[in-house]
Amino acid sequence: MSDARTDSGEDTVESAIRRVDEAESNDSLSTEELRAQVEAEYDFDDFTPSDMARMSPEEWDAVFDPDSWITGDELLERLEADLKSRVASRDVFARIERLDTPDRLVAYSDEGYAVVYADGSIEGEGTVLRDVKPSVALCSMDDYTVTEPPEDAELPEPTTVPEGSGEFGNLMMQLIAGAMFLSGLILAGGAALSGGLGIISGTIGLLFLAGGFLLFFTVANARLSDRFRAEEYRNRLRAVGVGEDERPEFLPESARETTSLEADSETDDDATGDAAHTGEQPASEAAETESSE
């Protein structure tokens, strides 16, 4: 037991030393040598977010030219399409919203959020931030082709989530289980009435009965699991406000619409302008005057 622990400890130390050696070798390599090494290791024709997560900052700086990165409105449009495609393929669970003043893209779920601005800067927390970061890097690359999302590339309404999938498979298993169960009953009943072959047919009948019962139990368990997963998914959809136009309480102001605040400021500006034309004192200033008196 101690030898096994010693071996695992040595493996951990060796892996740590190997990582340090690789980092030191990267530092000793020139930019051109490091770029050639990275291009040989990664397939940039099929570059994925997982590949992006594995790259070190030194490798990233060696391969990609910051002056060629896409920013501004084009970046947000590409990122919105990419994230919606990932939501449609169930690779990411998040609501995607485009907000303005300032122009930004917001992705949030019940487990975190991410806010991406036009200059490529990003803030957030949780699993959503982890999922969005690679997409921001990829969409800022001109060589990266963004997949066009389908028309319904959004999280579904909780009421439209089905109880489960694979009903045809469950039905087929039920038919097989029923046939085995019926065959077992026939064989077991025949064994009770037969003579010398009763033991053999009875044994086979019991096996068929056990097999039919096992299949029925498997189907029932699969249906209960499907219902549980469907209800859990509905609860997550309700938690992010799908169908209710609400947002989680933990979201900061940067991840929320500020139209109401802008409307209030515009109303105050209009009131001030009208008061200037009529010579009257604005209501807010009048209130402050009365309170001071």
Lowest-pLDDT choice from 27-31, 56-60, 61-65, 228-232: 27-31
Q: What is the mean pLDDT of residues 16-32?
A: 54
Q: Which residues lie closer than 8 Å to 285 by C-beta, 6 or more apart? A: none
Q: How far apart are CA 65 and CA 77, in angstroms?
A: 21
Three-state secondary structure readout of 197-260: CHHHHHHHHHHHHHHHHHHHHHHHHHHHHHHHHHHHHHHHHHHCCCCCCCCCCCCCHHHCCCHH
Lowest-pLDDT choice from 86-95, 206-215, 283-292: 283-292
Peptide bond before residue 150 is cis, with ω within 30 degrees of 0 = no
Q: Tell me which long-range contacts 170-179 makes (C-beta under 8 A, separation of at least 24).
A: 170/219, 170/222, 170/223, 173/215, 173/218, 173/219, 174/215, 174/216, 174/219, 176/215, 177/211, 177/212, 177/213, 177/214, 177/215, 177/216, 177/219, 178/212, 179/212
The residue behind tokens 């200037």 is 276
pTM: 0.58
Reading the block at residue 285, the tokens are 């200033």
Q: What is the pLDDT of residue 278?
A: 45
Judge contact between 132 and 142, C-beta under 8 A: no
Q: What is the pLDDT of residue 20?
A: 46
For residue 71, give the 3-state DSSP assignment: coil
The per-residue pLDDT for range 103-141, each reduced to its tens digit, is: 999 999 988 999 999 988 899 999 999 999 989 988 988
Q: What is the pLDDT of residue 273?
A: 46
Q: What is the pLDDT of residue 166?
A: 63
Assess whether pLDDT exceeds 80 at residue 228. yes
Reading the block at residue 47, the tokens are 């570059």
The fraction of the chain above a pLDDT of 70, given in percent, is 69
Banded model confidence at residue 195, pLDDT cuts 50, 70, 90: low
Q: What is the pLDDT of residue 29?
A: 64
Q: How far apart are CA 42 and CA 89, in angstroms?
A: 24
What is the identity of the amino acid at 102?
P
Q: What is the mean pLDDT of residues 32-57?
A: 74
Q: What is the pLDDT of residue 176?
A: 87
The residue behind tokens 């082709």 is 145
Q: 72 — alpha (psi -120 to 50), left (phi > 0) or beta?
A: left
Banded model confidence at residue 276, pLDDT cuts 50, 70, 90: very low
Assess whether pLDDT exceeds 80 at residue 289. no
Question: What is each CA distance from 209 to 202, 212, 270, in whole angstroms?
Answer: 10, 5, 82
Q: Please tell me which residue, 27 or 246, carries the higher pLDDT value.
A: 246
Q: What is the mean pLDDT of residues 34-61?
A: 73
Assess whether pLDDT exceeds 90 at residue 76. yes
Banded model confidence at residue 93, pLDDT cuts 50, 70, 90: very high
Give me the chain's average pLDDT, please. 74
